[in-house]
Amino acid sequence: MSSKQQHTLKNAINCSGVGLHSGAKVTMCLRPAPVDTGVVFHRTDIGAAAVLSGNPDAAPALDTDIPARWDTVSDTVMSTTIQNDAGVKVATVEHLMAALAGCGVDNVRVELDGPEVPVMDGSSAPFVFLIECAGLAEQQAPRRSIRVLRRVEIDDGDRRAALLPSNGFSVSLEIDFDSPAISRQSGFFDLHNGGFKRDICRARTFGFENDVNRLKDLGLGQGGSLDNVVVVGRDDEIMNDGGLRYGDEFVRHKVLDCVGDFYLAGGPLLAHFAGQRTGHTSNNELLVKLFSDPANWEYCYDQAQPTDGPINVWSQPLSAAQVSGSNPVIAQTA
Residues designated as active site: 280
**DSSP string over 186-248:** EEEEE-STTHHHHHTTTPPPEEEGGGHHHHHHTT--TT--TTTSEEE-TTS-B-STT--SSTT
- Residue 87, classed as helix, strand or coil, is coil
How far apart CA 333 and CA 99 sit, in angstroms, is 30
How far apart CA 88 and CA 72 sit, in angstroms, is 11
How far apart CA 240 and CA 57 sit, in angstroms, is 48
Q: What is the sign of the dihedral through the CA atoms of 68, 74, 76 and 78?
A: negative
Asked if 32 contacts 42 with a C-beta cutoff of 8 angstroms, the reply is: no
How far apart CA 159 and CA 174 sit, in angstroms, is 10
Asked if 276 contacts 160 with a C-beta cutoff of 8 angstroms, the reply is: yes
How far apart CA 231 and CA 237 sit, in angstroms, is 8
> Alpha-carbon dihedral of residues 189, 190, 193, 194, nearest 10 degrees?
10
- Phi first, then psi: give them for residue 298, nearest 5 degrees: -155, 155
Q: What letter would DSSP give residue 170?
A: E
Residues near 54 by beta carbon (within 8 Å), at least 6 away in sequence: none
